[in-house]
Amino acid sequence: MSTQGSDFGSVRGAVPRWRRLVLAAICAGLLHWLLFAGVGPTFTAFEGRAQEPATLRVRTVDAVALAPAVEADPNPATPELHAAPPLKRKGDKPAPSKIAKASPAPAATETVTAVQTPARPAVAATAVPQGVAAAVESSRSDPVSPPTQDPEPPAAASVGPDEAQVYATVIPAPAVLQFRMRRGILYGNAELTWRPDQGRYEARLEARASGLTLLTQVSQGGFDAAGLAPQRFTDKRFRSSAVAANFQRPESGQGPGKVTFSASQAEFALQPGAQDRLSWMIQLPAIASAEPQRLAAQGRISMQAIGARGDATTWQFISLGEEILPGKPAAVRVYRLQRVPQTPYDTRIDIWLDAQAPHWPVRAHLSNGANDPGFELWRIDTTEPR
């Protein structure tokens, strides 16, 4: 009897201990779940996915900005849409917001933490070379400098038949014309000397800049019924050898004659009144003095022009009428004549003749092609040869 009572007492005492062990295990499991499952995202840094500030997008809701949107929300049964969205990780796609669609009220302020957008650097102004700037400034301040752009002819200035003609002439007296010269941004001086003497003449044009002679042209010849009759024309450019055109006129006056060149095998038949690339600047005033009606608008003067490098073509000048050019000491009344080029790289000429006889050039501009800045002369003085 004593043995049974002892065994029953031990079993009855062991039951509470078993229950306590089970209860302790359950409590331990619950505690483990609360500690690790409930706040697990806090320790994700140990898994190699640390939530860096640069990758964390935090949205802050401005209560003042949201107030009008809450009032205007057509679905008040979903107030959770107006609460601040939960914290989002890098790569999560933001859910569409109904606030922007429900009301035009200002959107909530959004702040991106640790993400900075570098400011766009300011664009520096383009530097202008000092020499070019000085040349441009000089052209603006110099009262005798002509404009740089090529003037366009009016629509009415159509080109007539491409034929040279013979005109009456009045040969001007000896003179020395002083010019201001410009070639692009290069400035200098030029001098045209005209010396007629006992049936012969010599015309010389020299252009200089910075102490260097850029151009020397010489025309020599006599006179005939058409005015100036060149016999030899030489043209020398800077750092280039001189080249020449020779006008071979028959002594008996029979036949057209021909022109040959020192630097080309080309030959051309001479037309009556043919001029070289310098004598035309004397022949044009001579024709204007004898036939001033040709200076009126749409008046025409045509002549064969011979260069020193094996070229010959007909130049037709069309009068664009009377103009006033500014100058020192006073403005000058002029007649502007223009030679329209026939090909893309043909010579274009604008020349302004003094309205007063002997109609010496006041200004001249010659260019070849659209990209050529041209060669420009602006008369500053006229004297007699020494």
Confidence at residue 268, expressed as pLDDT on a 0 to 100 scale:
96
C-alpha–C-alpha distance, residues 308 and 116, integer Å: 70
Burial code of 181-216, b = ≥16 C-beta within 10 A, e = fewer?
bbbebebbebebbbebeeeebebbbbbbbeeeebbb
Residue 184 to residues 35, 349, 371, 374, 377: CA-CA distances in angstroms? 86, 16, 11, 7, 12
Question: First CA to last CA across the chain, in angstroms?
Answer: 168
- Check: CATH 3.40.50 for 164-383? no
Spatial contact of 176 and 190, defined as CB atoms under 8 Å apart: no
List, in order, residues 6 or more apart from 354 with CB less than 8 Å away: 332, 333, 334, 360, 361, 362
For the segment 5-19, what is each residue's pLDDT rounded down to a tens digit? 444 444 445 557 778
Mean pLDDT estimate for the chain: 74
What pLDDT score was predicted for residue 52? 42
Percent share of the chain, pLDDT over 90? 50
pLDDT tens sequence across 181-192? 999 889 999 999
- If we measure between CA atoms, which residue out of 253, 256, 264 comes closest to residue 224? 253
Q: Which CA distances in Å does 38 have to 30, 33, 148, 167?
A: 11, 7, 83, 113
Q: Which pTM was predicted?
A: 0.61
18-60 confidence digits (pLDDT tens)? 788 888 888 777 765 655 444 433 333 333 333 344 444 434 4
CA gap 69, 73 in Å, rounded: 6
Per-residue CA distances from 14 to 2, 8, 24, 26, 237 (Å): 19, 10, 15, 19, 128
Provide the residue ranges of all domains of the chain, joining segments of one domain with +: 164-383
Query: For residue 143, what are its two tokens?
Result: 């009262």
